[in-house]
Structure 1
């Protein structure tokens, strides 16, 4: 009489537990990151080398100040109405200035006003003027800053700093990815009033490529 054959052992699941494939999301994220970096580098090369990109030229043409009472110990609520001329010197490159563009006004490293710039498109080889209002509420000026401003106003030379930070896209045949354009303008006014005149101004620009 033959003995009954032994039943085969149940299949082991240990191997499936020990050799699971890692989720593909990490590899996909890394691939997308590398592709993004390559596209950024390619965009930079096309803009600078092929199209011979030149930075826009900014000029502060109007700068009115309100609410700058330097004799009162109470907090102030300054407001600055500024007009900036923008020249795009590039023949083949248009510039889209996107939303979330900001302008700030400083004195002695202390911020006096913050405002939003309008979004617009500027064709190549064109000039336009952009107006913005930068303000703050209940600012308590540092004593040293207040003294500096009072002394400068008596001399008719009040130094202020205007900064612009704007996300932009460049247009050639197609739109590029987004970059960040920055400008810093050193402005000297004859007084802090709504009738202030610009004594001197100088703007420097910079273009930041995404990481």
Structure 2
């Protein structure tokens, strides 16, 4: 008889083999170190920003108390009509000589007026004449009279003509002078430039007449200013 070579494995041995071959469970990741590093970076950034703001505010406060900056004062000093012609094609040609008074009250700050400026006179919500002035440098505690010639041509319809003639007869013609001026404050003997400012000045006025070779009397004048800072 042939002997049988069957091998019997007990359940206990089989369980032992399974326990030996099973890999250990993975350890949970420890993200506490990464979180601490991120929080540290955020804290340092916030501290740096706070320190920068404090230094900036301190510098601005020191400059304010040292230089005592004041806004320049602008105004229309005189207005003269050189030409005012109502033509047959419903157009009116206007030429005016305007003198703008520019007063700098600052003791240690001057102003540099840029080339990209414009001055225009508005009547009935439309431009009557316009022009510009040459750039110049104004010293501290100084008053400058800016002379310029404004020219323009525009169309007046029949209603605007009737309105103008009535206002001319009454001696109350409303005008608005709009000025757009780039200004740079400067300090020191060598005029160190600070920041750039775009000044827009609106002056509403009432004159008694607009006639050739005559100087209108300004009966009412009110000016407002807006400034936009840029680098």
TM-score in terms of structure 1 length: 0.70
Contact 1:77 1:136 in 2 (8 A): yes
**2:205 is matched with which residue?**
187
**1:77 is matched with which residue?**
93
Give the aligned CA root-mean-square deviation in angstroms: 2.7
Give distance in 1, aligned partners of 2:62 and 2:126: 36
- Residue aligned with 1:68, SS: strand
Q: Which runs of 5+ in 1 are unaligned?
A: 1-37
The more displaced of 185-194 and 196-205 is 196-205
**2:177 is matched with which residue?**
162
Contact 1:75 1:140 in 2 (8 A): yes
Q: Deviations over 1:5-36 (max 9, x none)?
A: xxxxxxxxxxxxxxxxxxxxxxxxxxxxxxxx
Residues 188 and 72 of structure 1: is their aligned pair in 2 closer, same or farther, counting only changes over 3 Å? farther
Q: Deviations over 1:181-208 (max 9, x none)?
A: 1211112211002312222322222221
**1:175 is matched with which residue?**
193
User: Which of 116, 120, 129 is the matching residue for 1:100?
Assistant: 116
User: Which of 89, 94, 100 is the matching residue for 2:105?
Assistant: 89
Higher Rg: 2
Q: Deviations over 1:16-74 (max 9, x none)?
A: xxxxxxxxxxxxxxxxxxxxxx9xx98xx579844332221112121122443458553
- How many residues are matched? 170
Give distance in 1, aligned partners of 2:165 and 2:63: 45
**1:18 is matched with which residue?**
none
**2:219 is matched with which residue?**
199
Q: Which runs of 5+ in 2 are unaligned?
A: 1-52
**1:114 is matched with which residue?**
130
Contact 1:94 1:121 in 2 (8 A): yes
Give distance in 2, aligned partners of 1:108 and 1:188: 13
Q: If each structure's helix is expressed as a fraction of its own residues, which one has the higher value?
A: 2
Q: Which structure is richer in relative contact order (CA contacts within 8 A, separation 6 or more)? A: 1
Contact 1:61 1:198 in 2 (8 A): no
Give distance in 2, aligned partners of 1:48 and 1:59: 28
Give distance in 2, aligned partners of 1:144 and 1:86: 37
User: Which of 148, 164, 179 is the matching residue for 2:163?
Assistant: 148
Contact 1:70 1:150 in 2 (8 A): no
